[in-house]
Amino acid sequence: MFQIVDIKAFLATARLGSFSAAARDAGVSTSVVTKRVSRLEDIVGQRLFLRSTRRLVLTPEGERLRPRLQMLVAELEETIFSTASGRTTLRGKLRIKAPTTLGTLFVGQSLAQFQAGHPEITTELILMDRSVNPLEENFDIALGALPSSYAGVHDVPLCEYQRMLVAAPAYTRRFGAPADPNEIIQHACVAFLPVGPSWSFEADDGPRVVDIRAVFAANDSRALLAATLQGLGIAVIPRFMAEPLVREGRLRQLLPGFPVASLWFKAMVPRNRSGQPEVTALIAHLKEDFAALPPASAAADPTHEIAFVP
């Protein structure tokens, strides 16, 4: 008879692309994961992976079984979590994804505060800047501000993430400033990679989306801020980072009549885990902690701390 650990070993291997990566994720040896997958293959009666020295790929049967087994595991976990909803003591492991710099500056501290109040919980915080489907990549909660959404995943808004279009005075003295969003194409831009090569602005006649010419791009807002302060180009920077520097005269706000479209910092929770008591409690904690961005406990000087990215 198959075991749920065999199915989870197969799903982790399919998600991560190797037995060794799945073993590290589960905290067991590679041979254990290989044995579990082989046991499932024996039960199914077919190979689920094509094995070679270079890579591991799913067979057609593996591709067919993967979504069905994901649904089976999700339904089983949902049943268990709903049964446990009456527990008063929170326990177990929470696996959280957060953006790199936001995780370092805000989320890590928030999770530590939460865990201090619930000592029987263990937390695993994974920092990465790309958007992930928490259901497919085995996260209890995925945090971020990118607009991606996924089937079977609930989006829980936490706080508005406002941004500003800015440039260093040295840049505007040399190259001028755009008077309209459409003029941005004439300027060098400092770009946040995960957002892509387009910026969106609000206007009286509706949204304005403009393509940009990036001369410097990064997936970290502190790097973008440094490039902007050096006069490399104009940039869209989180408001809480940019506003103090505008007041000091180190940055100049551009196009105040055309606000940069806001994003929302949110928690993405797989539907099958939304009733888990630990997840529910952590979401409530995050809602309170991130009612405003940045949290009150955050450092006031963004140039000396790691800065927020969505």
pLDDT one-digit tens code per residue, 96-153: 999 887 788 889 999 999 999 999 999 999 998 888 899 888 899 999 988 888 888 9
Query: Which pLDDT score is estimated for 303?
Result: 42
Query: Which pLDDT score is estimated for 101?
Result: 74
Once rounded to an integer, what is the mean pLDDT over residues 68-83?
72
Token code pair at residue 48: 């689920």
Query: Which pLDDT score is estimated for 305?
Result: 43
Query: Which pLDDT score is estimated for 55?
Result: 77
**CATH 1.10.10.10-classified regions of the chain:** 4-80
**CATH 3.40.190.10-classified regions of the chain:** 87-159+263-289, 163-253
All residues at 6 or more sequence positions from 194 whose CB lies less than 8 Å from its CB, including other chains: 129, 130, 131, 146, 219, 309, 310
Q: What is the pLDDT of residues 215-247, one digit of tens each?
A: 999 988 889 999 999 999 999 998 888 999 999
Query: Which pLDDT score is estimated for 86?
Result: 57
- The burial class, CB within 10 Å (0-12 / 13-18 / 19+), for 60 is exposed
Q: Which CATH superfamily is domain 163-253 in?
A: Periplasmic binding protein-like II (3.40.190.10)
Q: Are the beta carbons of 145 and 265 closer than 8 angstroms?
A: yes
Compute the half-sphere exposure of residue 167: CA atoms within 13 Å on the CB side of its CA: 22
Query: Which pLDDT score is estimated for 88?
Result: 64
Q: Are the beta carbons of 26 and 35 closer than 8 angstroms?
A: no
Which of these CATH numbers, 3.30.70.260, 1.10.3720.10, 1.10.10.10, 3.40.960.10, describes 4-80? 1.10.10.10
Q: How many CB atoms lie within 10 A of CB 88?
A: 5
pLDDT over 70 (residue 310): no
- Whole-number percent of the chain with pLDDT over 90: 45
Structure letter (DSSP) for residue 226: H
Secondary element (H or E) of residue 132: none
Query: Which pLDDT score is estimated for 1?
Result: 54
Q: How far apart are CA 82 and CA 235, in angstroms?
A: 46
Q: How far apart are CA 264 and CA 160, in angstroms?
A: 5
Cis ω on the peptide bond leading into residue 178 (within 30° of 0)?
no
pLDDT over 80 (residue 299): no
Residue of higher predicted confidence among 272 and 260: 260
Fold of 87-159+263-289: D-Maltodextrin-Binding Protein; domain 2 (3.40.190)
